Amino acid sequence: MNLNHLESYLNTHKPLKDFLMSLANIIRGNASVYLVGGLIRDCLRGDFSFKDIDVMLDCSSEAELMEYLKTLKSENIIRFWQKVGRSFPVFKIHLPGCDEPLDIALARQEVSTGFGHRDFHFNAEGITAKEDGERRDFTVNALFARIVPDQKSKLTLQLVDYFGGLEDLKNLNLKAVGDTKKRFEEDPLRMLRAIRFQYQKGFTPDPQILLAITRDGPELLPHLSYDRIQDEILKTLMANPKNALQTLLDLNIFPSCLKPLCDYLPQAAPDWIPETPLKSREQALICILLPWLSQIEFSPKNQQLRILEQTLTELHFPNPRKIRTCLQGICDLVSIPKSPYPQAWQEKTLSSPHADDLLFFHELLVTGTGIQALNPLPKPDQPRVDGMVLKSWGIAPGPGYEAILLQARQMQFDGIPLHQIQSHLIRQFL
């Protein structure tokens, strides 16, 4: 594991290289410039997407950092910069020829004065890189790459590892920096992030992490906002729906922070839920709701899906209306064998903009629960009967209109000529 690919990337991107080397060469005292965050972890693991380049300056003050940025702007190393962040200063740096800005911040210490990552006291004056690392969640996220200052043309990186993160990364062990309980008290979302790293990135959580989740989760997790909770949980489920769901159930996560959802969740993840990644957060949510749908035999009563939609809305899940629509569509596909108009009903259901999702989940249920598979729809030779055709036959919209249209389409699928369909419907409904 090394930073050679990251070095090569930086050396071939002149604006970025010029900024980092110039900053490293003008800073004073014991200060150093570092690349930090998930970028270092992912590069060491062989992920060279180089997203989210975050820069840190240690042993400095905000006034000194602003002085350095003004100097670099006067030398046209940067185009302009913006100070953002209310709690502690972060600067968005816009470089020549680069569409996306990069972030630079001072090394800082955080002292939690409450729960849920809301109440903190920050100190960003003269803080060292090691002191900054002590506030980070996991050892693999506390790896830094120091920009080595020199007068040469090549940018060089030096890996800085204060907490054994490199060894943990090699072994895919997930350990907290310092005291696990304290790290989770500072931000309980780290509990959910640890589970996400297990399934999204392949880490094995340290026993101390699992112990802290089961022991302290019921007290700490309720302090989190629903937005942060559902975002982290859905990312986890997307990576490995079946095993992630089972772990979340085993660790009693849902009663601690999403209690209203518990009525719709299984006691154990069914074998037919996939272990392979899903395409979207909506798919992940539908996946864990399918066992409930199966339990009620895919026949929700009038208000059940509406109440579920309200629950998802209150919990800030994404697209609750789409979830409700897809669940109803799945029920419609399952009920096709019972319909007097099976092919017409299948055609209507799959005309939904969510047809791909409906087919995906229906196939899961066919494989896992034994429901009847769908048959391919034949292509009728005659023009498709629709509302305009019915209207031209003198059949105006009204009560039962959808059933009339379904009957007409089914007769087409059955191979009945159009003029006979017209005669039959006119005799029946006029």
Per-residue model confidence as pLDDT tens digits over 25-57: 999 999 999 999 999 999 999 888 877 889 999
What pLDDT does residue 151 have? 63
What pLDDT does residue 117 have? 53
> What percentage of the chain exceeds 90 in pLDDT?
81
The secondary element (H helix, E strand) that includes residue 149 is none
Domain boundary assignment for the chain: 1-171, 281-369, 387-429
For 59-90, write each residue's pLDDT tens digit: 999 999 999 999 999 999 999 999 987 777 89
What pLDDT does residue 116 have? 53
Is residue 112 scored above 80 in pLDDT? no
Q: How confident is the model at residue 132 (pLDDT cuts 50, 70, 90)?
A: very high
User: What token pair was written down for 30?
Assistant: 């014991």
Per the model's pLDDT, the better-predicted residue between 169 and 124 turns out to be: 169
**What is the C-alpha to C-alpha distance for residues 121 and 114, in angstroms, rounded to an integer?**
10
Question: What does the pLDDT average to over 108-123?
Answer: 70
Render the burial of 129-150: b for 16+ CB within 10 Å, e for the rest.
Answer: bebbbbbbbbbbbbbbbbbebe
For 256-300, write each residue's pLDDT tens digit: 999 999 999 999 999 999 999 999 999 999 999 999 999 999 999
What pLDDT does residue 119 have? 62
Please classify residue 411 by burial: count the beta carbons closer than 10 Å to its beta carbon, then call 0-12 exposed, 13-18 middle and 19+ buried. Answer: buried
What is this structure's pTM? 0.89
Q: How confident is the model at residue 120 (pLDDT cuts 50, 70, 90)?
A: low
Render the burial of 157-193: b for 16+ CB within 10 Å, e for the rest.
Answer: beebbbbebbebbeeebbbbbeebeebbbbbbbbbbb
Fold held by 1-171 = Beta Polymerase; domain 2 (3.30.460)
Per the model's pLDDT, the better-predicted residue between 429 and 417 turns out to be: 417
Is residue 122 scored above 90 in pLDDT? no
